[in-house]
Amino acid sequence: MPPLIAGISRLAGFSRRVASVCAGAFPLAATGLLDGRRAATHWCLAHELAEYFPYVHVDADSIFVRDGKVISSAGVTSGIDLALSLVEEDFGPKVARAAAKYLVVFMARPGGQSQFSVRQVARQPRHQVVRQVLDDVTADPAADHSLQAVAGRVGVSVRQLTRLFRAEAGVTVTRFVEQIRLEAAQGLLESGTDPLDVVARRSGFGSEETLRRAFQRDRGITPGAYRARFRTTLTAQPVSAGAH
């Protein structure tokens, strides 16, 4: 490992740009080049990267991040997005569009990593009340999870619940509920053909408009567009024998 870190440091010293893909952010961070910078890595490694390298500002959602001459990307395929951005920077949008078309990929992929991941609570709670809330919301996203209802079920005041949950889980109850509902909606969109109003009710959003606003705000993409892009590939049409 030390020779790798030394090699990256040496090459970065005379390079115009330095880039990493997925877990490549770890050796890059070990050189110190990411200290004080924003950086991306695969969503499931983001917490670990932040823990090992506290001076790195880890962006757990972006497909790729550019901070100065250093660019880092999320999962392996995000390296394509990063590479296309470099092509556009060096050769212009026309060449980048041609490359994207040839590769059959988006010129600029919509949404962030959160659309591909199961949302994880930032910190594992120790308090039984918080663990119960997490379990209850996850088990039935469509139930009544207003602050008053949740506090009543676990036998604490709204104020105490708010304080405990924020301290133990690292997010608010309202935010956690919305994230779980978004995940539930994603699953329904990926695996079924229910109309959006049905998806909204089953995932706890109540109305199609509420679902659409939450999806657009948090995922940067509409529910309909998500369904079209991220459903199973088994729906793809087979190529006929005579097609070229």
pLDDT means over runs of 10, the chain (244 residues): 91 94 95 94 90 92 87 87 88 84 68 52 71 85 94 94 90 90 85 88 94 89 82 42 39
pLDDT given for residue 168 in this prediction: 86
Distance CA 78, CA 53 (A): 22
Nearest-5° Cα angle at 42, 116 to 13: 145
pLDDT given for residue 244 in this prediction: 38
Distance CA 3, CA 124 (A): 36
pLDDT given for residue 150 in this prediction: 95
- 104: exposed, middle or buried (Cβ count in 10 Å: 0-12, 13-18, 19+): exposed
CB-based contacts of 99-105 (< 8 A; 24+ apart in sequence): 105/80, 105/81
pLDDT given for residue 242 in this prediction: 40
Nearest to 61 by CA among 208, 200, 222, 217: 217
pLDDT given for residue 205 in this prediction: 95
pLDDT given for residue 241 in this prediction: 37
pLDDT given for residue 233 in this prediction: 42
C-alpha pair distances (Å), 181 with each of 84, 116, 137: 33, 14, 9
pLDDT given for residue 23 in this prediction: 94
User: What single-letter amino acid sits at 69?
Assistant: K
